[in-house]
Chains A and B, each alone.
Chain A
Amino acid sequence: MRIAAIGLVPDLTLQLAKLAAMSAGGKVIASYSFSLTRSDIGYLENIQPDILLFSGGTDGGNSRYVLENARKLAASSLSCPVIYAGNRAAAEEVVDLMPAKEVIVTENLMPEVGQVNLEPAREKIRDLFLKRIVSGRGLSEIVDLFGTPPQPTPLAVFELISAIPQYQTDWSDLAAIDIGGANTDFYSNTESYLETDTVILKGIREPKVKRTVEGDLGLRVSAHSLADSGWAYLEERLKGLGLEVERLRKHLDKIALDLDYLPQSEEETLFDRLLAETCVYYAALRHSGGWRETYTPQGRVYVQTGKDLRRVKAIVGSGGFLAASGSAETMRRPLQKLRTYGQERKLLPEKPLFYADRQYLFSLLGNLVGKYPKEATALAVALLENLKDED
């Protein structure tokens, strides 16, 4: 599901719009803050997203930008449904301004500054998503058979990750990583901020269950963009192992074209693993929050931005490379390396255990969570393979 996200301030409503889109299983293909320009509209018309998630302003707060943008969107040739999740006080006017568009109004993503309310918008995106899949792909027989539409993988995994701690009490704080050919998905289910006297949260308090999806990190279609985004990590690893950059480049050229390519030599296997580590490193970097230290007479104070993953006890490699390879090291090494990033201490799982969803069952079981939450979550954790260190 290709979603365009619109917010007002980049760090606030736009950030939340992106999070809501990703948590609903979508991919953010364009995002805008403040006023849409003519070229922004042109770009949107060109790419024709599946959904436009439109937010901005607290309830009773700013309405100028959403109204202005609504006018521009109304005049565009954009044909997708628009989910409006902005300032409630402007909702009716927004709908009136876009008579020719399908506008679905839902609760504000940020009713007050700092108050995060993603679930209603996520529901709406999910509904549209399922409706479209069912009608678009002739799956109505399946729906008749099972009583529910089949959920796309990211959505199913999200539902499963949300449900596991609820029904399997030993699994209270967990994360999952799915590295595919085109994207890397990172899921977490853990409290994002623990309030103490010495930690001050800045920016939004992120949701407990969160998914991020990185369209530039993947092992096949996105291999080149992965190398671009992840060069710093890759280069250091190559150097450490005494491998030649040129040979990696050749490998990249090969795999980016041949999407089903499987490594043919030890070297290629190693390259794939390095690329997977790079996916983990940057997906974790973007998903997790960090602390910066400041000194005051009371002692050290930490300023936190983003999500605290320190209490995550289990990390599951689900789907794609991580499920197949069953290597804890592919996850552990980049996470270890990421503990400090620039001036920041990254808030990564402190002592995680690593697991693999070897048979790739998370998305299937996620489909059953709605009806059989206890059974589906029990099966999901029972079938995980605990990964031991190989080196």
Chain B
Amino acid sequence: MNQENRSNQKLEFRNMDQDTIILGVIGADCHSVGNKILELFFTAEGFKVLNLGVMVSQQEFINAAIETNAKAIFVSSLYGHGDIDCQGFRDLCLEKVLDRILLYVGGNLVVGKTPFEIVEEKFKKMGFDRVFPQTST
């Protein structure tokens, strides 16, 4: 079964033997619509999705990822405090020996209209593997 896959960091999600991915909206954020859509989408794409819903803390994401041996955590943030809520996420993962996990983040990551390139850089510096802009307006 799912022995730890240590081969490489840049796993592409081609194989469909039901890798677990974790979804959730971080911090005190209650925007639930996008989260539900992501769940439907990734389930349809053949992933085993564990959706933690809204108002999820870093620790909750990490606890769930450890128990399930998840391949990736998809963090959403819509309400503008994403940079604060995500601070230290990668560090906490490393501390909890989740050293191979992919961290993606998306939504409305910062307050106001900061150019996406700057937002992206900021989150990559925090240790996120990929950063996604808001896709709906």
- Which residues of A come within 8 Å of B, CB atoms? 8-9, 11-13, 34, 56-58, 60-64, 89-90, 110, 112-113, 200, 202-203, 294, 296, 298, 301, 303
Contact = CB atoms under 8 A, between A and B. Distances in A.
Given A61-B67, A296-B30, 13 more contacts: A9-B67, A12-B63, A34-B97, A58-B68, A60-B69, A62-B67, A62-B68, A62-B69, A63-B4, A200-B55, A203-B60, A294-B55, A303-B55
Given A9-B67, A113-B50, A301-B30, A61 B55 contact: no
Contacts of A296: 28, 30
Nearest to B2: A60
B67 A57 contact: yes
A112 B20 CA distance: 11
A63 B2 contact: yes
A18 B55 CA distance: 27
Nearest to B97: A34
A57 B63 CA distance: 10
Interface string B1-18: 111100000000000001
Task: List the 6 shortest-distance A-B pairs measured between CB atoms, nearest first.
Answer: A89-B1, A61-B68, A62-B69, A9-B63, A61-B69, A113-B64
A58 B20 CA distance: 11
A200 B50 CA distance: 16
Contacts of A203: 60
Nearest to B64: A113
Nearest to A295: B28
Contacts of A90: 1
Interface residues of B, number: 23
A9 B66 contact: yes
Contacts of A56: 67
A200 B63 contact: no
Nearest to A113: B64
Dominant secondary structure of chain A at its interface with chain B: loop
B131 interface: no
A61 B98 CA distance: 13
B63 A11 contact: yes
A113 B54 contact: no
26 contacts: A8-B66, A8-B67, A12-B63, A13-B67, A34-B97, A57-B67, A57-B68, A57-B69, A61-B67, A61-B69, A62-B66, A62-B69, A63-B2, A63-B4, A63-B69, A64-B69, A90-B1, A112-B68, A113-B64, A113-B67, A200-B54, A200-B55, A202-B57, A202-B60, A203-B60, A301-B30
A370 to B, nearest CB: 34
B53 interface: yes
Interface of B: 1-4, 18, 20, 28, 30, 50, 53-55, 57, 59-60, 63-64, 66-70, 97
Interface centre among B2, B4, B55, by most chain A C-beta atoms within 10 angstroms, is: B2
A13 B67 CA distance: 8
B20 A61 contact: yes
Contacts of B1: 60, 63, 89-90
A13 B68 CA distance: 11
Contacts of B28: 294, 296
A62 B70 CA distance: 8
Interface centre among B2, B28, B50, B67, by most chain A C-beta atoms within 10 angstroms, is: B67
B73 to A, nearest CB: 13
A34 B97 CA distance: 10
Interface centre among A8, A13, A58, A296, by most chain B C-beta atoms within 10 angstroms, is: A58
B65 to A, nearest CB: 9
Interface centre among B18, B20, B57, B68, by most chain A C-beta atoms within 10 angstroms, is: B68
A60 B55 CA distance: 26
B54 to A, nearest CB: 7
A298 B30 contact: yes
Nearest to A64: B4
A301 B25 CA distance: 15
Nearest to B1: A89
Interface centre among A9, A34, A64, A90, by most chain B C-beta atoms within 10 angstroms, is: A9
Contacts of A298: 30
B52 to A, nearest CB: 8
A99 to B, nearest CB: 21
Contacts of A303: 55
